[in-house]
Amino acid sequence: MNEIKNAERLMPAIRADLTKRLADQGFRVKDIADALNITQPAVTQYLKGKRGATYKSMKQIDAIIDPLADKLAKKIRSGQGGLELFELSETAHQLMVMNKEGGVTVHEGANEPDRNRASVNLLKERLQLELTAAEKYLELANRTSDEHTKLLLRLIASDSIRHGDTVSQVISWLELGGSKREFRTPEREVLEQMISLEDSAKEVNLRKSVRVAHPVARLLLEWIDADEEKHEKIVKKMLSLA
């Protein structure tokens, strides 16, 4: 599979991969079925290769799937539940973005404005930087034994992946004559409610209010505080467009 266009189509392949990894760790079919929220016959079909596509030609599979498999194994052992749908969706999304071959194919027409062409070229370079950074952070995360540091590095990698996805979307938008297309924002009432939620979250600065000895854990709390600041700023700007 060289070109991935739909993250949802990757989900059965991810389930199949997780099934085999958990089985290799000695978990029972019932435990795997409960953890993946699927039936026991489905687990059996995944293990026999009768269900779930393969994506072995894709890059960075282990770097993305291994942490999820380890997390699931810990959940099974501690009885803390199983795979959440958003986790499956996020994993599929990361694999899709990480495997864009050379970024997005851009067809530069003779009538494309020069500024659009320059922007597309700049964005293509940025896309490659973001995906390269994501790979490096994932590699670093896999090499560290400290769980807090591992989580922080994965968060940074996840941000780089999202940046790459955003850049890809803007490239596509420019290709289709984005400046001429209409846009829609959520209703003002909804945006105002979201701003109210962000204000409530910002009332307590986690970095300053929560006492934790681990220095990287403090950085993780600082990460959350910084995200809240960013969310409020962006939603307010969206509100001005509504």
Helices (H), 28-109: 29-36, 40-47, 61-78, 85-98
Report how far residue 45's alpha carbon sits from residue 137's, in angstroms, rounded to the nearest whole number: 34
Q: What is the pLDDT of residue 68?
A: 87
Amino acid 108: pLDDT: 37
Q: Check: CB of residue 226 under 8 Å from CB of residue 201.
A: no
| Domain identity same for 27 and 45 | yes
Measured in whole angstroms, how far is the alpha carbon of residue 185 from the centre of its chain?
23
What pTM, to 2 d.p., does this model score?
0.61
Residues 79 and 144 in one domain: no
Same domain as 3, residue 89? yes
Q: What percent of the chain has pLDDT over 70?
A: 81
pLDDT of residue 113: 52
Query: In this structure, how many other beta carbons lie within 10 angstroms of the beta carbon of residue 152?
Result: 20
**Residues 36, 85: Cα–Cα separation, whole Å:** 9
Which of 96-110, 116-130, 186-200 is the least confident region? 96-110
Q: Distance (Å, rounded) from C-alpha 235 to C-alpha 241? A: 10
Range of the domain at 225: 188-241
93 shares a domain with 1: yes
- Checking if the pLDDT of 239 tops 60, the result is yes
- 88 contacts: CB under 8 Å, gap ≥ 6: 11, 14, 15
* Domain boundary pick from 70, 99, 128: 99
Token output for 25: 């760790």
Indicate if 138 and 63 belong to the same structural domain: no
pLDDT at 162: 87
CA-based angle 223:196:189, to the nearest 5? 130
